[in-house]
Amino acid sequence: MFAAIVVLLASVWFGNCAAEKTICKIDENCTMNCASDDIIDLESSTDCKTIVVKLLKSNVDVWQKLKRYPIEKVVMFQQNDLQNIDDLFKETNIKKLYLYQNNLTELKTGTFDENKPFETLALNRNQIKLLETKSIPAVKTLYLHYNLIESLNADAFVNISHVKILRLDNNNIEKITAASLMGLKADYLDLSYNRIEYLEDASIPEVKHIKLDNNKLASIDSKKFVNISYTINLDLSYNRITQLSENSFSGMLNLTNLSLSNNLIASLDMYSIPTVKNLNLSYNLITFINTSMFEDIDYLMSLDINYNCIKSTDFHLINMNVSNQKDNETCKLNRKDTSKIKKFTSNLMIAIFLMLTLILVGIVTAIALRRYAESSTYNLKNDETTRGTSNGKTDDIKMVSID
Ligand SMILES: *[C@@H]1O[C@H](CO)[C@@H](O)[C@H](O)[C@H]1NC(C)=O
Ligand SMILES: *[C@@H]1O[C@H](CO)[C@@H](O)[C@H](O)[C@H]1NC(C)=O
Ligand SMILES: *[C@@H]1O[C@H](CO)[C@@H](O)[C@H](O)[C@H]1NC(C)=O
Ligand SMILES: *[C@@H]1O[C@H](CO)[C@@H](O)[C@H](O)[C@H]1NC(C)=O
Ligand SMILES: *[C@@H]1O[C@H](CO)[C@@H](O)[C@H](O)[C@H]1NC(C)=O
Ligand SMILES: *[C@@H]1O[C@H](CO)[C@@H](O)[C@H](O)[C@H]1NC(C)=O
Ligand SMILES: *[C@@H]1O[C@H](CO)[C@@H](O)[C@H](O)[C@H]1NC(C)=O
Ligand SMILES: *[C@@H]1O[C@H](CO)[C@@H](O)[C@H](O)[C@H]1NC(C)=O
Ligand SMILES: *[C@@H]1O[C@H](CO)[C@@H](O)[C@H](O)[C@H]1NC(C)=O
Ligand SMILES: *[C@@H]1O[C@H](CO)[C@@H](O)[C@H](O)[C@H]1NC(C)=O
């Protein structure tokens, strides 16, 4: 009985199918290389768990023959002229549909069966800008990364609460509203590498691992992350956050790892740092840190405050696993600027000292020279007296005079 997973792989370069009518079989690599008019022999399936069906992009009609088999996985990628899929994959029992690296521009209502859930739907690396209402079927793993999505609405999902893994990174999303992801209760949400500047109050849903890094967030107040006690891991690195205020992360009871690295945080309010185990505050502009800034310092296991502008640290933090060896370059530059005046004055002092020394040396030399001049005129007189008796060089003269 054929129960294998069939992978239908339509690729540009796998294009050389025989023109004459042949029987298309599963080869030793569990691959099928079929032309549209081939007779397809799926029954020859051997020990293959995954069958790869290679298909010319123009031969999508082969799919019509395969459709009736209990295919679990279909891969169709690198089809430059695949801009929409209409209802190609409707009324099938595919569990995993990979449609990455094509040129899909939108997802229309009714593209997929509303009642047939997918395990994985990969639509990453397309040109998708628009997600129509209820266009996304019930799916556990949804890949929408590397598209052109600008805005999100939970309406686009047939049932958003099905989703466990949602990748929306590398799109053009500018804001997350309360309606964007309403109802999502997932394990993983990736919103990194977007243009998110604005988070509406209570817009971040209950997700275990949230990636919001590499966006344009400037402020995190007490209303952004509310009642999301489910979250374990929150990555807010590479944003433009300037300050943390009290209760910025209140209610995030299960939060274990928080990264705020590579922001512009200069000041931390009292109790602004939530109860976390691993905290990354590296690459910021923090000048001062003390225990009052933590909701519960006893919970903290590691703190990375490398590359900040730390001038003083509370000694209670010394016992913690604190990494704080390095200064951010910006701070070093700033410090150089402020020390410039000091350096200038100290240089001036050295210059004055040197000049005084020079003058002194000059005076001493002058006196010495005068004395030498006096003594040498005396010697000259002496030399003249001896010259007559010798025809040699001056050295000889000296020797003579010494003698
Ligand atoms: C099966 O895979 C091997 C190794 O990639 C390759 O050398 C061989 O040509 C393939 N066989 C067929 C029939 O494509
Ligand atoms: C498909 O997308 C690629 C990459 O964005 C683009 O260069 C190409 O022109 C597109 N092809 C079509 C047929 O739209
Ligand atoms: C949506 O999915 C969830 C989880 O799978 C399920 O509990 C709920 O009943 C579904 N809602 C609808 C309206 O189908
Ligand atoms: C948080 O949840 C509690 C209990 O479910 C609720 O009473 C409260 O209003 C919620 N807070 C916000 C800001 O939504
Ligand atoms: C915290 O996480 C644990 C383990 O995942 C879970 O059992 C618990 O319900 C979570 N607590 C809250 C308040 O969500
Ligand atoms: C939390 O961070 C620590 C150290 O940075 C890391 O080892 C651990 O895997 C992280 N935990 C999660 C749940 O990401
Ligand atoms: C903190 O974040 C920086 C930059 O993202 C990273 O290089 C560093 O390893 C992190 N520190 C820890 C302890 O994970
Ligand atoms: C210093 O910190 C700022 C702000 O976080 C960051 O943009 C910059 O890249 C950092 N510079 C270095 C050399 O770490
Ligand atoms: C920590 O710093 C804050 C703000 O500078 C200050 O109000 C507080 O008294 C300090 N707490 C401790 C324990 O030093
Ligand atoms: C401190 O944390 C680092 C990594 O987070 C770990 O490798 C190291 O063993 C820890 N040191 C102590 C004393 O806990």
Which atom in ligand 5 lies closest to the alpha carbon of residue 254?
A: 1
Contact status, residue 106 vs residue 82, Cβ threshold 8 Å: no
Q: What per-residue confidence (pLDDT) applies to 7?
A: 44
Which atom in ligand 9 lies closest to the alpha carbon of residue 293?
A: 1
Distance CA 390, CA 403 (A): 13
86: left (phi over 0), alpha (psi -120 to 50) or beta: left
Confirm or reject: Cβ of 239 under 6 Å from ligand 8.
no
Distance CA 32, CA 69 (A): 14
Distance CA 255, CA 227 (A): 12
Confirm or reject: Cβ of 60 under 6 Å from ligand 4.
no
SS3 252: coil
- Residue 263 CA to ligand 9 center (angstroms) comes to 22
- Residue 80 CA to ligand 2 center (angstroms) comes to 6
Residue 17, token pair as written in the block: 């199918």
Confirm or reject: Cβ of 84 under 6 Å from ligand 6.
no
Cα 255–289–338 angle (5° rounding)?
140
Confirm or reject: Cβ of 28 under 6 Å from ligand 2.
no
Distance CA 160, CA 139 (A): 8
Distance CA 142, CA 160 (A): 10
Mutating to test ligand 5, I would choose from 207, 208, 229, 275 the residue with most ligand atoms within 8 A of its C-beta, which is 229
Confirm or reject: Cβ of 36 under 6 Å from ligand 10.
no
Q: What is the pTM of this model?
A: 0.76
Confirm or reject: Cβ of 81 under 6 Å from ligand 2.
yes
- Residue 329 CA to ligand 10 center (angstroms) comes to 25
- Give pLDDT < 70 ranges for the chain: 1-20, 44-46, 48-59, 68-71, 73, 79, 222, 226-227, 313-348, 372-403
Q: Which helix (H) or strand (E) holds 372?
A: helix 329-387
DSSP-assigned states of every residue in 139-183: EEEEE--SS------GGGBS-GGG-SEEE--SS---EE-TTTSTT
What does DSSP assign to residue 48?
-
Confirm or reject: Cβ of 282 under 6 Å from ligand 8.
no
Contact status, residue 266 vs residue 289, Cβ threshold 8 Å: no
Mutating to test ligand 10, I would choose from 258, 321, 323, 325 the residue with most ligand atoms within 8 A of its C-beta, which is 321
Q: What per-residue confidence (pLDDT) applies to 390?
A: 37
Ligand nearest to the CA of 209: 6
User: Which residue carries 């502009």 as its tokens?
Assistant: 285
Ligand nearest to the CA of 232: 6
Q: What per-residue confidence (pLDDT) applies to 399?
A: 33
Confirm or reject: Cβ of 248 under 6 Å from ligand 6.
no
Q: What per-residue confidence (pLDDT) applies to 143?
A: 98
Which atom in ligand 6 lies closest to the alpha carbon of residue 257?
A: 1
pLDDT tens per residue, range 216-257? 999 887 677 766 788 999 999 999 999 888 878 887 889 999
Paired sense of beta strands 185-190 and 165-167, if any: parallel
Contact status, residue 110 vs residue 85, Cβ threshold 8 Å: no
- Residue 207 CA to ligand 5 center (angstroms) comes to 11
Ligand nearest to the CA of 261: 7
